[in-house]
Amino acid sequence: MSDINWKREMPDVPEAVHEAVLEALKKLDKAEDRTDSKGKHRRRKTLVVLAAALAAAFGMTAAAAGLLWNERAAEEFHNPALSLQQETIESGVADIPDISVTDKGITVTAVQTLRDENRVYLLFKVSSEEAVIDGNSGFEDWKLYDGEITDIFGNMGAQFLCEGTGELLTEGYYMIDAMNVIKEDWKGEKLSVCLSDFSYYTYESGDSEEGKSVQAAHHIDGVWEMEFPLENVENQTHHYEVGQKMELPEGSILVKSMEISPLSIEVVYDRADADKVFQARYGEEDGSLWELFAVKILDKEGNVMNEGVGGVSSANQGEDKTVLMELSGVIDTEEVGSIELGEKNLVFRP
Amino acid sequence: MDKEEFTRQILAMEKSMYHVAKSILRCDEDCADAMQNAILAAYSRRDDLRNRNYFKTWLTRILINECYGILRKKKEVVGLEEYPELPGQAEFTQAFSEVEAENGSEVFLELQRLEEKYRLPFTLHYVEGYSAKEIGKLLQISEGNVKTRLYRARNILRERLKGVQI
């Protein structure tokens, strides 16, 4: 039980901030005027206006024209700069495949692929004739494979990006995020996805967290399979031999190398050093050397390009402890100026 | 959702919005900008929200994006100790210190001293009551990562607040 009532410790809304809120509320009508017929908010920069104008000339949205990322995918990656979205499309790291497969009344459309040497992110728009989609829905069986090989991906996740559960919809975004854990087997020429056995739940009123409880589970026995060509992806990965020690209170850990890609970073530590520090900190107890997974990437001017990571895969191989991490956003690897590990326990400048 | 209900919901969430914005931006002026942007963006996109029960989560997500957008524009993710070096932030630094002194809230000050990667999940969980799973979705990080950050934040605060149970 906490000794602190955190809500009580937080400051009240200052008068100036409250006034700003009231001012915004007065402008709601104007905000509505700025909304286009599809309900999308128009707050774009010059580049988007140009891209949209070009796309509009061909009767397409900027994303559909392949000029910018799918908006939802961009949102998931913290809205990368528009110039970076374009660069990643030009290099093949990002693609908007717009491939659709329909089976048993459910249409799955691939709207965005993102890929580097270590990670694959796929975003699908799923639409259905019946309302069957919420945060609990999903494909019970899904495979991601490179040609015939199915075991190169690890630390995989797949889910609907819904706001919650309880209300079934006819449309939603579904994402697959996977790390390429066996790099030597990665051909990288094409990627196949097979989704099957769509499941969803129906609900009844109840006292669950979301206000409703599950009444029954349902399955739609379909197969949705598609293939993405990836042969034109430029390799944006940079490998650095580091050979520097990360200083921690319990000792130092040699950082042998780093590999930075647009969507991921891999750091190879000395396994014996890491084990020693772990032992000194935790003994026989469970714990985590969080410093090994805390990464901040800055550009050449010192601006933060990426802070924090998503999925993490850690492997002990011989004398190495290899940590592969998904970046929370996307970066231009050419612009990396420094990489900080832990709380600046090591600052590496490539 | 009509304008009247939207306004009512925003006013009910004003404090929560401020806490979230404050945990990312710290500067009240930036918080106000982010909150204004989020309100206008949310209103123009309100048709995207199919289930009103998720208004708070949905708006918080928009607000967080707006806050990060402001940070990107500043081209800085700042630590408290770096604030005086930011252009145009000197006044805020002084104001911040004065507010803290007035409030006398050592706990809030220590919370604000946490790195943003700990501060935001901590605020979302302990102040706003989001679960680790919900925070993971909001911040696009794994639930495990959220728990790790909360654990680390608790440890730091426990140390700085001299053993207070958190």
| pLDDT per residue as tens digits for the range B68-126 | 888 877 654 444 333 333 333 344 444 444 554 455 477 888 888 888 888 999 999 98
**Which chain A residue shows the shortest CA-CA distance from B26?**
A11
**Over the stretch A70-80, which tens digit does the pLDDT of each residue have?**
989 998 898 88
Query: Residue A23 has what pLDDT?
Result: 85
Asked if residue A39 has pLDDT above 60, the reply is no
**A37 inside 8 A of chain B by CB:** no
Query: Residue B87 has what pLDDT?
Result: 34
Residue B3 Cα to chain centre, angstroms:
25
CA dihedral A179, A180, A182, A184 (to 10 degrees): -160
More confident: A214 or A265: A265
With CA atoms as reference, report the closest residue to A246 among A279, A305, A292: A292
Give the confidence band of A32 by pLDDT, cuts at 50, 70, 90.
low
More confident: A98 or A320: A320
Nearest by CB: A31 against B40, B51, B141: B40
Q: Which of residues 50-79 of B touch A (CB under 8 A)?
A: 50-51, 53-54, 57-58, 65, 68-69, 72, 75-77
Distance from CA of A303 to the nearest CA of B (A): 6
More confident: B77 or A236: A236
d(C-alpha A79, C-alpha A69), whole Å = 9
Query: Residue A126 has what pLDDT?
Result: 96
Beta strands A251-260 and A238-248, pairing class = antiparallel
Query: Residue A286 has what pLDDT?
Result: 76
- Residue A47: how many other CB atoms lie within 10 Å: 16
d(C-alpha A326, C-alpha A267), whole Å = 12
d(C-alpha B69, C-alpha B36), whole Å = 13
Question: Over A174-208, what HEC string results?
Answer: EEEEEEECCHHHCCCCEEEEEEEEEEEEEEEECCC
**Which chain B residue shows the shortest CA-CA distance from A157?**
B142
Lowest mean pLDDT among A30-39, A85-94, A148-157, A251-260: A30-39
d(C-alpha A6, C-alpha A328), whole Å = 28
**Over the stretch A186-232, which tens digit does the pLDDT of each residue have?**
666 778 899 999 999 887 765 444 556 666 788 999 999 998 887 77
ipTM of the complex: 0.82
Per-residue burial over A14-45, b = 16 or more CB atoms within 10 Å of its CB, e = otherwise: beebbebbeebbebbeebeeebeeeeebeeee
Nearest by CB: A164 against B18, B41, B54: B54
Q: Which of residues 93-132 of B touch A (CB under 8 A)?
A: 99, 103, 105, 107-108, 111, 115-117, 123, 126-127
More confident: A68 or B59: B59
Give the confidence band of A49 by pLDDT, cuts at 50, 70, 90.
very low
Nearest by CB: A163 against B33, B54, B140: B54
